[in-house]
Each structure stands twice: as structure tokens, then as C-alpha cells.
Structure 1
């Protein structure tokens, strides 16, 4: 259990850093996202004993967001997601497994939408579909919720 607690502490620190950087610069740097992928795979191999769940989750997380990025660009003629978001989702899949990716995306999307709507209402403005905003902080929140569910079980997750 001590390994899980140390991993969780490191994950929180890394996700907080990524969220802060993305909120300020609209970038998720490789120097943090790529080691996070490796750490998730190693944790699953050495501690949790689920290497395939980690590898499949990383591939699904990255692949699905790259597909969304490319599809959006082709449909709208502009970027919607960045590769940093795809790498963060690869890390989420590596840590949590592929089956939790829909929950992670749901939490990230709902919290991002709630924040953007609240901010627009406070400012007395409407949402503009061309305005870019960082998605990484919200994906990081979903990632953390998914990891807590995976590592500590649904009983602790429901307590939040």
C-alpha cells in the first residue's frame, strides 16, 4: 500500500504542475507528460501486476485524442486539441487502464464546461466557439479521480 500512496503523491504533484503550466501557457510539456506515461506503465507492471491494462490504456488514450484532434481539424479547419492533451490521456490510460478513460474524459469535459459557462455568466458574456482554453487542467482532474477510483476503490471515491 505504501507504493500506491507514494505514487499517488507523485501523481498529484505532477498533475498540479501540468494543470498550472497549461492554464498559464496552453501547453502540456513533454518533460512532464512522457515520464508520467512511463511511470504509469512501470507502476502497473511492478506493483499492480496489470501490464496489459496499462499498455492498452496508454494506446487508447493517445490514439483516441489524436483521432479527435485530426477529425476536428479536418471538420473545422482549425486546431481543437493539442498533442499534449493526447499525451496526458496516454498517461491517464497508463495509470488507470483503458476502461476508466470514458470516466476521465467525462469528468474533464463536464468540469471544463461548467467552469467555462460559470465564467461566461460572471463576465456577462456568451461562450465563443472560436475561443481557445486549456483543457489540461480538467483532464488532470478527471485523471486524478480515475486514479483514486482505481487505486483505492469505489468506497473512497464515493466519499469525495
Structure 2
């Protein structure tokens, strides 16, 4: 029955995406994530089950409310499709419970990337539990005999990930007299280290650096203004790096 875990990772993807789309809107506005039954943001009509089927409802309703015709934010569809893709990827890369755990890691990284990309903010209420869950899954799979590496590697990864970026941020602040990294970036790298272990941290940073440089080069090619003062959401690149290392393993550095 191992295939049931793969199926769960795939089928729960759109459901998770719908919920994460809601979080991406409400959390930055400091609104309660759970506010009773879902309702249309324009006319206030309580949504029925037929309105809430991930992906399918959006397509059938052509992205509009059945009552008032107001546009449904496309982020819901994008998040649902993104989480579905991450679920499929996890089911392809892993078997058994690890497939669902992998999908959960991917969904978590996705919501962090979206929030940081839009608001330059990595909320502790998301990054800290992600790190705790990474350590829990490492201990659980090690005790179950499904992991050859001790969970101590993950614990070291959490400490090393946070400590390394914190020192970089501290040194930059002392040398330049201003912030160079957001306060959530070290916490996020520490959380990722809790998942990939200390061995995977260098590769995470390499992937993040490649992604960041690619964005800068794309901006240069499009002749958009690039300066030393420009801010980039580094958490987005760290999330991408964490996922690539989780799926593909550390680079042969």
C-alpha cells in the first residue's frame, strides 16, 4: 500500500494550494487565517462546496464568482497548480511516507517564497515550525531505520545554517552600516538545514546564488535599473535552493 502515500501527496496538493493562497493574502495583512466559512471577497456570499473544488471550480466558473461575477484572485489557481506539481514531483522522487513528507516540505517552501517575494518578509511563525518539523522527520525516519544518516546531521545543519547567515548579516551591518540581509533569512536557512543536514547547506547556497544572479542578469538584459541599493527577496532563492538539494541531493562540490 505504499502507493497510497504517493497518491496522498498528489491529491492533497491542490487542497494545500488553496489554503496557502488564503494564507498568502491574510498573513501579511495580519488577518486571522481561519475566519469561519469561506466567502466571496466582493459580495460576501458564503461559498458552497461546488465553489471550493481546487482547480476545477476556478476553471468551470472561469475565474469569477457565481453570484456577482467578481474576479477570483488568480493566485489561488497558481498556488493549487504549484502545490500539485510539487506533490507529483515528490511522489516521483520518493516512495512511502517520505513522498508526503517531501510534498509538505515543498508546499511550506512555496508559501514562504511567495510571501517573501511579495513583501520581503519571512514570518517566524512559518520558518520556525518548518525547522522543528525538519528535525522531527529526521528523528522519526532515523528511528524507523529508513534513514542512514543520524538526525544529528540535521541538528548541526539547523545550527550551521542559521549561524552562517547571521554572521554574514552581522559583518555586513558592521562594515556597511546598514542591513544587507533580512532578519528572516538566517532562520530560513537554519530551517532548511534541519531538513537537508549540514552536508547540503553549501549546495543550497550555491543554488540560491545561481538563482539570484540569474534574476539580476535578466534585469540587465531587459535594461531595467540595477544598483547596489536594489533589494532582492533572498528567501525566494533560499527556498528554491533548499528544494533542489532535497530532491537532487548535494552538488558534487
Shared fold per TM-score greater than 0.5: yes
Q: Which one has more relative contact order, counting CA pairs under 8 Å at least 6 apart?
A: 1
What is the aligned partner in structure 1 of residue 207 from structure 2? Answer: 107
- Give the equivalent residue in structure 2 for 1:16: 110
Of the two, which has the highest radius of gyration? 2
Kindly report which structure 2 residues correspond to 1:1-160, keeping only aligned pairs within 5 A, or say none: 1-48=95-142, 49=147, 50-122=150-222, 124-150=223-249
What runs of 5+ residues in structure 1 fail to find an aligned partner? 155-160
Distance 1:130 1:71 in 2: 17
User: Which has a greater percent of helix?
Assistant: 1
2:156 and 2:168 map into 1 onto residues whose CA distance is 18
Output one character per residue of 1:47-83: Cα deviation in whole Å (capped at 9) or x when no partner. 1452100100000000000000000111111111122
Report the Cα distance in structure 1 between the residues aligned to 2:169 and 2:189, rounded to whole angstroms: 13
Q: Is this contact kept in 1: 2:219–2:225, CA < 8 A?
A: no
Aligned equivalents of 1:90, 1:30: Cα separation in 2: 12
Residues 75-104 of structure 1: CA distance to partner in whole angstroms, max 9, x if unpaired? 111111122111110111100000110100
Residue 97 of structure 1 aligns to a residue whose secondary structure is: helix
Given that 1:107 and 1:138 are in contact with CA atoms closer than 8 Å, whether structure 2 keeps it comes out as yes
CA distance in 1, matches of 2:125, 2:193: 18
- Give the length in aligned residue pairs: 151
Give the root-mean-square deviation of aligned CA atoms.
1.5
Runs of 4+ in structure 1 deviating by more than 3 angstroms, as ranges, are none
